[in-house]
Amino acid sequence: MNQHTRKKPNAVHHERRPNTHYPLADGVFFVLVGLPGGARSLSQCLVLWSDGVLRQTAGWVRIPDESTVGRRFKEVTGRHISELESLVHEAHKRVWRRALREVEVQWPCVG
């Protein structure tokens, strides 16, 4: 693999089709906010996101259609999930490393 084809370790590589208006990340955000809001399906997420205040908070003028979000999720492959798991693992390591440093500063070991 040369330097031009090497993957970045901090991204999930997903190419959008030219006619796509909503990136996959928007679909994931759409569902992740919908689940704690009580939604149990894409159509319930749509109902939740129809709230103007929630849309404005997210910076969305319009919300994606249920079929649009469904199509985005159908594009996800095992490779994407593996890359996302790697990103989550790296994020956890950074957070725990920072937290452990904070603990060491606040409560130095005496001994």
pLDDT attached to residue 93: 92
User: pLDDT 10s digit of each residue in the chain, 111 long?
Assistant: 434 444 445 655 555 555 557 777 788 888 888 888 898 988 898 888 888 888 888 888 888 888 888 888 888 888 888 888 898 899 899 999 888 887 776 666 655
Alpha carbon of residue 7 to chain centroid? 19
pLDDT attached to residue 20: 57
Residue 41 has φ and ψ, to the nearest 5°, of -155, 170
Residue type, 86: S
CB atoms within 10 A of CB 12: 19
- Residue 58: which of 87, 40, 31, 80 has the closest Cα? 31
Q: How far apart are CA 52 and CA 45, in angstroms?
A: 14
